[in-house]
Structure 1
Amino acid sequence: MGKYARDTIQSIHANFSLRLLSSAANEILNAVLSPLSLASAAASGITRVEINDVFAREVLFIASQQTILRKNGTIIAPGLLVVLHLCDRAVVSNAMIDIARDYMGDILQFDCKNNSTTVAFINQWIANQMKSEFKIFTRNVYNVDWHFMLVDSFYLNAAWHYPFDERRTITKDFYANEHTTTQVEMMSMWAFDKFKYTEDIDVQVLGLSYQLDSNLFFYIFLPREKFALKSIMSELTGHRLLFLIARCKTVDVEVEIPRFSIENHFELNLPLASLGIVEAFTSRADFPALSGQRMHVSTVIQKTQIEINERGSYPVNNTHEMPNDELSVPRQGGHIKFIANHPFLFVITKIDQMILIGHTIPANSLRN
């Protein structure tokens, strides 16, 4: 595998995303996307070194990714809000305004004593971005020592290239863990020359394309063993993930995947610190591009919303070297079966750039 996957910015970013997912969420409905590239662009010294070493050693990748996504904003809607609390008449520097413009982020300045206004604005910004009434701040946080805050949002609104027939969706078992089985609405299709597929000794990989963008794909990484997701994620690297995606070919396949929806938010300070980004959250932080006032990152928040159903992905209310060998896919009972009836990893990619990563354990009505 090594000769097929080089140490690219894409693979480094994919590896970071896998590590952040494992750190931020442990086998719950989740999805994460990092805004730390903008923080890196505003930083210098040890602060910048830490962020770049952990994230991707390069900030241009996500800047270009945000540009690609915004150009197709009717499908994918990422958002980035930079909140700065400044005291003693300090102002945002022109350099920071330029950085925010490059990353297509919104920047807002508040007086350091005006936390209540900040809370109301952030909740409204999230509601506008996500087309949802969800509020990030529902508790009393007015006494929090806020300086430099990053709020990242994401929702996807896109139809499948090959939608599922709702009449074929039926209630079936989903094996959440060794002790719990849940009932889910399972979508199904006999897909002839529609979906991409590959497999290895550990996982099956299925790729579903979207209608309005032929480069946009939803990939499911389904462990062969029912309850092996945690162990597979602990061993999966960005190299291997992108290699498997690059190896996918269009095949005939019998597909069953559950409907599921995710709407959540993460505070990423501790997960990012556990990965090695420490200085940015301390008084030693060095962000000279922000303003003349010494500042550190107070909070990194991410709000994500996605629903997978028969029609596609909706809000809730290759630079890789390809292998030369031919893909040989073993048949199960005469044809390929992809039955996603246990926990799986999923990613959304555009070309070879990872946009979203998560794992799902549908939690409907549980039974023993």
Structure 2
Amino acid sequence: MSIALALSLVHAGAKGNTRSQIASAICKGANDDQLKKHYSFLASAIVKPKNGVEVNLANKAFIDKNFTIKDSYLKAISYAYKASAQNIDISDPAEAAEVMNEFVKTATKGKIEEIIDKDNISPDAVMFLINALYLKADWKEEFKQSATRDRKFYIKEGVSKSIPFMSVKAKNRDYASDDQVQVLSLPYKDTDYRFNIFLPKEKFGLEKVVKGLTAEKVQGLLGKLEDTLLNIEIPKMKLEKELNLKETLENIGLEDMFGNEADFGEISAAQLKVDEKGTTAAAATFVEIVLRSMMVPSHDPIDFVADHPFLFALTYKNHPLFIGVFSN
């Protein structure tokens, strides 16, 4: 989501092939107005006050003090994406980096302290577009810490590592499956937000699953979720990743962005932590407990044991905010 929002800021000021390539990458099939409305809606919706979920989203354009940006562009990103603008002295890369890193650190509640190093600031740079997204969410139904214990996670054939797994036995949770994958969907206290795990049925079949997992298939699986009796074991997670997105974006069709006429340096940093109480994520309370009537199960619980590489997606109303792979 953070990457897509940053690209939507670029899209607002781009022309020609660059504009159409960005649109195809982040909102395929949509026209310019639909793209703007989609990301504007998400940017507004996810930051509204809610129960048990805290979200902070910040968009900002940092502009070299010697460069003039059209007012029409600044007004467009302000109106659609609530983005602000600030002048900086890019000829002083140390100061420029400090200002931008402080913005990201504040927006992500200190989870991401640095997005750019002074040595990575080109003397020819004229503007930086930064999106920072922070989310902290409590599970609707927490995992008991007393039920967390170490077990093997199988990284690849012949390689495993003992890590802490959270578990719950014989409880009803939202679940779906097809011939390739099991899907577990865990709601947060605000149930519009969910943590979805796509677990390959084949132990080391993640690559095959990911290749076949189109947006339509993902939405189809999420649409099939049913309240199901499960035995669940999933790893506690803390993931941190910094990516240079140039190659990735070129691979999905954004070739003109990195041509001779304009050089877009793209770096994304993300952190995600999942534990017994909930999830804290950056790219960058307690509520009613529903008591279920106790019934004698008519069948044995289905085992959902995420002890091998899987895909996850943290979603808002099935819109992905964070997507990743847990593999090691």
TM-score by length of 2: 0.84
Residue-by-residue CA offset, 1:286-315 (whole Å, 9 max, x unaligned): xxxxxxxxxx35322322222100000025
* Residue aligned with 1:70, SS: coil
User: How far apart, in 2, do the equivalents of 1:136 and 1:352 lie?
Assistant: 28
Q: Which residue number corresponds to residue 21 of structure 1?
A: none
Q: Which residue number corresponds to residue 308 of structure 2?
A: 342
User: How far apart, in 2, do the equivalents of 1:297 and 1:142 lie?
Assistant: 12
- Structure ranking higher on relative contact order (CA contacts 8 Å, 6+ apart): 1
Are the equivalent residues in 2 in contact too, given 1:208–1:219 (CA < 8 A)?
yes
Are the equivalent residues in 1 in contact too, given 2:115–2:268 (CA < 8 A)?
no
Deviation of residue 32 (structure 1)?
A: 6.3
Q: Which residue number corresponds to residue 108 of structure 1?
A: 86
Q: Which residue number corresponds to residue 36 of structure 1?
A: 7
- The answer as to 2:128 corresponding to 1:149 is yes
How many residues are paired up?
303
* Mapping 1:154-233, distance limit 5 Å: 154-193=133-172, 195-211=173-189, 213-233=190-210
**Match of 1:192, as an amino acid?**
K
Q: Which residue number corresponds to residue 251 of structure 1?
A: 228
Deviation of residue 215 (structure 1)?
A: 1.1
Deviation of residue 165 (structure 1)?
A: 0.3
Deviation of residue 191 (structure 1)?
A: 4.9
User: How far apart, in 1, do the equivalents of 2:3 and 2:303 lie?
Assistant: 29
Are the equivalent residues in 2 in contact too, given 1:190–1:255 (CA < 8 A)?
yes
User: How far apart, in 2, do the equivalents of 1:137 and 1:54 lie?
Assistant: 24
Q: Which residue number corresponds to residue 76 of structure 1?
A: 55
The partner residue of 1:55 within 26, 32, 43 is: 26
Are the equivalent residues in 2 in contact too, given 1:100–1:107 (CA < 8 A)?
no
- The answer as to 2:267 corresponding to 1:301 is yes
Are the equivalent residues in 1 in contact too, given 2:90–2:123 (CA < 8 A)?
no
* Residue aligned with 1:334, SS: coil
Are the equivalent residues in 2 in contact too, given 1:149–1:299 (CA < 8 A)?
no
Distance 1:232 1:177, change over 3 A: same
User: How far apart, in 1, do the equivalents of 2:86 and 2:269 lie?
Assistant: 18
User: How far apart, in 2, do the equivalents of 1:108 and 1:274 lie?
Assistant: 32
Are the equivalent residues in 2 in contact too, given 1:69–1:76 (CA < 8 A)?
yes
Deviation of residue 263 (structure 1)?
A: 2.4
Distance 1:360 1:144, change over 3 A: farther
TM-score by length of 1: 0.76
Where do 4+ consecutive residues of structure 1 move more than 4 Å? 31-34
User: How far apart, in 2, do the equivalents of 1:78 and 1:191 lie?
Assistant: 37
User: How far apart, in 1, do the equivalents of 2:11 and 2:87 lie?
Assistant: 19
Deviation of residue 84 (structure 1)?
A: 2.8
Residue-by-residue CA offset, 1:306-360 (whole Å, 9 max, x unaligned): 21000000258xxxxxxxxxxxxxx9x9321100001110011111312111111
* Residue aligned with 1:146, SS: coil
Distance 1:154 1:360, change over 3 A: farther
Q: Over aligned residue pairs, what C-alpha RMSD do you find?
A: 2.4
Distance 1:233 1:182, change over 3 A: same
Q: Which residue number corresponds to residue 365 of structure 1?
A: none
Q: Which runs of 5+ in 1 are unaligned?
A: 1-16, 18-30, 285-295, 317-330, 363-368
Residue-by-residue CA offset, 1:158-212 (whole Å, 9 max, x unaligned): 100000000000010000111310111000002533x21000000000000001x
